[in-house]
Amino acid sequence: MICLLLVAGHGTVLETQIKNDVTGLYGQLTGVPKALLPGIGGKKILDFWWETVNTRQLFSEVYLVTNADKYKHYERWATANDFPVENVVNDGSTTLEGRLGAVADLELAIRSRKLQDDIMVIAGDMLCADQNFDIAQVLRFFRSKPGELAIYYELEQGEKSSSRGIVEVCPETHRLTCFLEKPQEGMTTSRLASVVFYCIRKGTLHYLSDFLTLQPKAQDRTFGRFWEWLINEEKLPVYGMKLPTGFQLIGQVELSDYTKWLGHYSALRQESPANPITCFSYARVGLMGNPSDGFNGKTIAMTISNFWAEVTLVESQTLVLLPHPLNDPTEFGSLQDLYCISRKEGYLGGLRLLQATCKKFYQFCSMKGIALTKQNFTLKYDTNIPRQVVMSATLKCLMKFYNITDSDLPKPIRANFILNVETDELFITAGLQDRVVQVYEGLIYMDFSKNLMDEQGFGDYISMDMSSLPLFWLAYLSDPSDSGRIHSNVRQRWLNGETEVVEAMRSFAELTDQARIALQGSDWNRLAQLMDENFELRRSVYTDECLGPGNLKMVQLARQFGSAVKLPGSGGAVVGLCLDQGRLVEMRKAFQEAGCVFCVIVPYNPAGSIGINRQD
């Protein structure tokens, strides 16, 4: 692979405004080529790109293409920065009117230096918001695709698509389906902007001269027009890779634009490592339909702020996963202490959850054509609920740290992602309901019908109003039952098509639809009746032996006080709805005397209308 840095443009507007500036702030920059202007962190713009590509492991040669007017500046820069002076290519132009055009400059360098290899092309006068992206990841993605590669980013608020080359990208294949050079408003809804950062295969280089033959005027020999022609007309396979950062080509911008974007990107750089990122994921209770989420059923679940997992990410020199003092013990009071802790809690703590989430996150971004920065971090966690919830909070932290947006990893896909970490990486039996409600947060209706799952890869997930919910309560055993034992052999019976199980899962879905209507109409008596029916249906399929004596004891105790009750998850806890507030107080006391933990549920509403809302 050979890299070419293009700095042959004539920045007459910016250069003239610097020369005529009366403030005296920019006098030292008079006559300085735009690529040698100060960039982020005080280094010259070109210095950053040279540092990025200056590695023999990736590039056999690096060339710099400039014009005759600024050639001496770049020759001096090359000498001072250990850049081979003989690799500075002079295109011979001295004015804007006499320019060759960007594509012609690239073709000149390839032809004059007889280059016969894959080419990476980068505009050397381009500001990049993130100074740590991994260019090796770009090359790996390019080599994994059967075509050319164009880098793009998502426009920030305020940036107009009419001033950039806009790409439309197939989310499955990452192939660019359309390239629009400075499109008029309404031509596309895409906010993905191409930048002068491309990888071109050796066998495609002849298209450069073909394009130049079609475009005799220098002003038309831009990369935007080239890619528009190559993708839209010639239908060549060109793939896109997203860098989760911002880019600004200095080009023909004004002094105010240069200072604005330099200040904006510099401020982002100063802010990014300073503050730790802390994210929460909340416990959930299944109000209706569970456990049919794993059987193409329907469920309603709600996040609650009584219990949560918390993950904190801080930028660091190396990547560190900190063990939790309780969940990941490395020191014990004695051999007997080790025995007792291991017998009760097993050998698998929370670190594997952090590690598996990080591993899957990198894999996902690599496959989806998202180049991550070369930043490291330290992760630590705390939780007062089952440790699996840590994965959702970890993913939130990683997305914020690497600037991954909802369009990069949409909520339905995010829920699948977390479930896949559990099932594929850690071989933990789990259902999709939990991950959906922890991603969406609030009160969520979920339809996991087979046709939806087959067609789109996820279900239909609908947020419901939480403004007038009744008081739900939660009680749990100090030593909850194991999820695997609770599920027993029901899944195999369902896969075998056993009528009883198949019909039961269909009935769970019907109960969920009825509960949705009850919730929307504030019909709490009907909702209570449906909760009891949900439990009895589950009991008939799973049997008392599988549900376990502890769960049954809590259900029986709740019913003594006239409360609706069901299992909110796999087992070890019950959720209820007691419409008689006086009996609720009596029931709390009875549960506590029976050795259970009892609490009134505080719903977690991301909109903030109910409950104690922790801010991520």
* Catalytic hit among 434, 454, 482, 513: 434
- Contact between 39 and 84 under an 8 Å Cβ cutoff? The reply is no
Encoding tokens for residue 589? 């006391």
How many other CB atoms are found less than 10 A from the CB of residue 147? 17
Tokens of 144: 């994994």
The Cα 50–Cα 79 span in angstroms is: 13
What angle in degrees, to the nearest 10, is found between the helix axes of 524-547 and 499-520? 150
Nearest Cα neighbor of 374 from 59, 119, 55, 155 is 55
Q: Where are the beta strands (DSSP E) in 251-364?
A: 277-288, 298-316, 320-321
Q: Running DSSP on this structure, what letter comes out for residue 323? A: P
CA atoms of 508 and 164, how far apart (whole Å): 51
Provide the 3-class DSSP secondary structure of residue 238: strand
CB 37 within 8 A of CB 29: yes
Residues 139 and 123: their CA atoms lie apart, in Å, by 17
Of 10, 1, 138, whose CA–CA distance to 63 is shortest?
Answer: 1
Helix, coil or strand: residue 397:
helix
Contact 474, 339 (CB under 8 A): no
Q: How many CB atoms lie within 10 A of CB 265?
A: 22
DSSP 541-567: HHHHHHH-HHHHHHHHHHHTTT-EEE-
Tell me if residue 316 falls in helix, strand or coil: strand
> Do β-strands 61-66 and 88-90 pair in parallel, antiparallel, or remain unpaired?
parallel
Q: What is the C-alpha separation between 558 and 567, in angstroms, rounded?
A: 12
Question: In Å, what is the CA distance from 156 to each residue of 248, 398, 426, 430, 497?
Answer: 11, 20, 37, 38, 51
b/e 364-373 (16+ beta carbons within 10 angstroms → b): bbbebbbbbb
Query: Which residues, in sequence order, are CB contacts of 447 under 8 Å at separation 6+?
Result: 298, 459, 460, 461, 509
Helix axes 581-593, 549-559, angle to 10 degrees: 150
**Amino acid making up residue 256:** S
CB-based contact 289:321 (threshold 8 Å): no
Q: Is residue 434 annotated as part of the catalytic site, yes or no? A: yes
User: Which positions are annotated as active-site residues?
Assistant: 434
